[in-house]
């Protein structure tokens, strides 16, 4: 991100960027439109960000709209439930939901934006990592557990339900997803005869 310019001005630019994205999609997002909406000269924006993908990448990572607090409930189960509730709220509440769908949908067809989306997810995962570090210290994670896979499975369940199936998401759903992941769904005991474990 640009090193000059005040934090408040940058937040105004990020807010204008995400609002424009939510309203017009990635194709309709322009530096000129962001400049008009934020009241910042477009040459200033171009000086700070070489492309709209670069601007959007910083907005996704640094804008207050998509910010979140990493939970610390004292247990892995509690932390994951709180984290997933936050993800569900993001995908169910405009304009954040519109921003997420527009940005990540466009990333599938735009290599520069895909790199920015990867940076967004890397930043999120780095911020979520303490959940798993604390859980490992408490003895709640088995050896070899893969935190990124856990996060992907949880977030994937919410994305599929909210974005593709367009079904409602409530705390009961997110809690059950976490419980299913942590407890498994296989019946206890040996497998039935003729079924390999």
Percentages (nearest 5) of helix, strand, coil residues in the chain = 70, 0, 30
Per-residue confidence at 190, pLDDT binned at 50, 70, 90?
low
Q: Is 192 contained in some domain?
A: no
In angstroms, the Cα distances linking 163 to 10, 91, 169 are 29, 8, 11
Q: Which has the higher per-residue pLDDT, 153 or 68?
A: 153
Q: Is 116 contained in some domain?
A: yes
Q: Considering only 3-12, 111-120, 169-178, which range has the smallest mean pLDDT?
A: 3-12
On whether both 90 and 174 belong to a single domain, the answer is yes
Out of 32, 47, 64, pick the residue that ends a domain.
64
Residue 196 backbone dihedrals phi, psi, to 5 degrees = -75, 140
CA distance 147 to 27: 34
Question: Residue by residue, what is the 3-state secondary structure of 84-147?
Answer: HHHHHHHHHCCCHHHHHHHHHHHHCCCHHHHHHHHHHHHHHHHHHHHHHHHHHHHCCCCCCCCH
Helix (H) or strand (E) holding 149: helix 147-159
Output the domain CATH number for residue 167: 1.10.357.10
CA distance 60 to 154: 20
On whether both 14 and 50 belong to a single domain, the answer is yes
Per-residue confidence at 184, pLDDT binned at 50, 70, 90?
confident
Of residues 17, 23, 173, 172, the one with CA closest to residue 94: 23
Out of 20, 36, 64, pick the residue that ends a domain.
64
On whether both 43 and 120 belong to a single domain, the answer is no
Q: Based on the structure, what is the number of domains in the chain?
A: 2
Residue bearing tokens 């369940």: 157
Output the domain CATH number for residue 12: 1.10.10.60
Q: What is the mean pLDDT of residues 27-43?
A: 96
Q: Considering only 20-34, 38-52, 87-101, which range has the smallest mean pLDDT?
A: 87-101
pLDDT at 3: 43
pLDDT at 193 over 80: no
Q: Which pair of tokens denotes residue 22?
A: 């939510």
Q: Which pair of tokens denotes residue 176?
A: 């059950």
Classify 71 as helix, strand or coil.
coil
Whole domain around residue 131: which residue ranges?
68-183
CA distance 57 to 119: 7
Per-residue confidence at 77, pLDDT binned at 50, 70, 90?
very high
């Amino acid at each position: 991100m640009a090193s000059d310019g005040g934090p408040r001005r940058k937040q105004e630019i990020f807010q204008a960027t995400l609002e424009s994205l939510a309203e017009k999609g990635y194709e309709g997002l322009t530096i000129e439109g962001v400049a008009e909406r934020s009241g910042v000269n477009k040459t200033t924006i171009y000086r700070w960000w070489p492309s709209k993908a670069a601007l959007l990448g910083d907005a996704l990572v640094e804008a207050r709209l998509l910010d979140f607090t990493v939970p610390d409930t004292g247990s892995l189960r509690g932390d994951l439930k709180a984290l997933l509730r936050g993800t569900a709220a993001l995908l169910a509440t405009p304009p954040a939901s519109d921003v997420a769908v527009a940005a990540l949908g466009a990333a599938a067809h735009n290599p520069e934006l895909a790199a920015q989306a990867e940076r967004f997810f890397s930043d999120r995962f780095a911020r979520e990592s303490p959940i798993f570090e604390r859980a490992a210290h408490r003895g709640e994670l088995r050896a070899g557990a893969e935190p990124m896979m856990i996060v992907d499975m949880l977030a994937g369940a919410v994305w599929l339900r909210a974005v593709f199936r367009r079904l409602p998401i409530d705390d009961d759903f997110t809690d059950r997803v976490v419980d299913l992941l942590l407890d498994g769904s296989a019946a206890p005991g040996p497998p039935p005869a003729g079924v390999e474990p």
